[in-house]
Amino acid sequence: MTEQPGARDPKQLRASDADRERVAQLLHTAMGEGRITMAELEERLGAVYAAKTLGDLEPVVEDLPGVVAIPQAAAHLPAVSQARLPETRIGGKAGSTTSIAIMSGVSRKGNWVVPPQHNSFAFWGGTEIDLRKARFAERHSTITAVAIMGAVEITVPDDIHVEVTGFGLMGAFESTDKKGAAPEDSVPPDAPTVKINGLAFWGAVEVRRVPRDPKRKQVER
């Protein structure tokens, strides 16, 4: 029996941003369940975002639950490349409820669990909140940001829902979409929702929606 002309090993197909994100979600879930350590998570995420093919993604999660056998026609590719996973970023022990910077700076970023209510305050200083690698204790969270002669910068990935209702008084309370960010209406309905309110008085609160994968670039046609 001769091989069908043009047949290709699916493992050699190029991985998409969606494929990489699905595998990354599996890794975050595994870390939250105690299956891998923080150091292992960072190491594996580096391999995920460097992956060029579907075959490159398979070894990263082959020892974790959630990757099931694929029919022969799919050439045993990771299950995460076949369909969108249910939301896995919700759950875990809530992290700090405050970020306070008084004539100083403070940041909340990396792998942390956002509580249902987080208060950020900056006075003659700056706070940085980055949600790109965060988990969420509950599906709905609120961040109250107050900047008085200071600045609060909040970075959110483009695959969660964001509602901004704060205002500026002799200051700026702004929300912007950075280049490459997906439109809000493309966010899955079961994704976490973050409401951001508060006040900027002689200061600034900036909410930036950015692509979750910093390597991703928007392709204009």
Q: Residue 22 contacts by C-beta under 8 Å, 6 or more apart in sequence? A: 78, 80, 81, 84, 85
Cα–Cα nearest to 145, from 99, 107, 103? 99
Q: How confident is the model at residue 217 (pLDDT cuts 50, 70, 90)?
A: very low
Q: Residue 140 contacts by C-beta under 8 Å, 6 or more apart in sequence? A: 116, 192, 193, 195
Could you give the dihedral angle defined by the CA atoms of residues 182, 14, 64 and 88, in that order, rounded to the nearest 10 degrees? Answer: 10
What is the pLDDT at residue 45? Answer: 85
Determine the length of the chain.
221
What is the pLDDT at residue 8? Answer: 62
What is the pLDDT at residue 86? Answer: 57
* Calpha distance 28→112 (Å, rounded): 11
Residue 214 corresponds to which tokens in the numbers above? Answer: 């910093």
Q: How confident is the model at residue 67 (pLDDT cuts 50, 70, 90)?
A: low
Lowest pLDDT segment from 4-13, 31-40, 124-133, 180-189: 4-13
> pLDDT tens-digit profile of 72-131?
333 344 444 444 455 778 888 898 899 999 999 999 998 899 999 999 999 999 999 999
Beta strands in 19-166 (DSSP E): 98-102, 105-108, 113-114, 117-123, 126-130, 135-136, 140-148, 151-157, 161-164
> pLDDT tens-digit profile of 12-21?
888 887 778 7
44 vs 121, more confident: 121
* Calpha distance 76→210 (Å, rounded): 33
* Calpha distance 204→221 (Å, rounded): 35
Residue 58 corresponds to which tokens in the numbers above? Answer: 């398979």
What's the mean pLDDT when you consider all of the chain?
82
Task: Give whole-number Cα distances, 137 to 10, 93, 101, 111, in Å.
Answer: 37, 6, 24, 13
Lowest pLDDT segment from 12-16, 46-50, 78-82, 146-150: 78-82
> pLDDT tens-digit profile of 155-171?
999 999 999 999 999 99
What is the pLDDT at residue 219? Answer: 38
The percent of residues above 90 in pLDDT, for the chain, comes to 43
What is the pLDDT at residue 16? Answer: 83
Residue 100 corresponds to which tokens in the numbers above? Answer: 């306070």
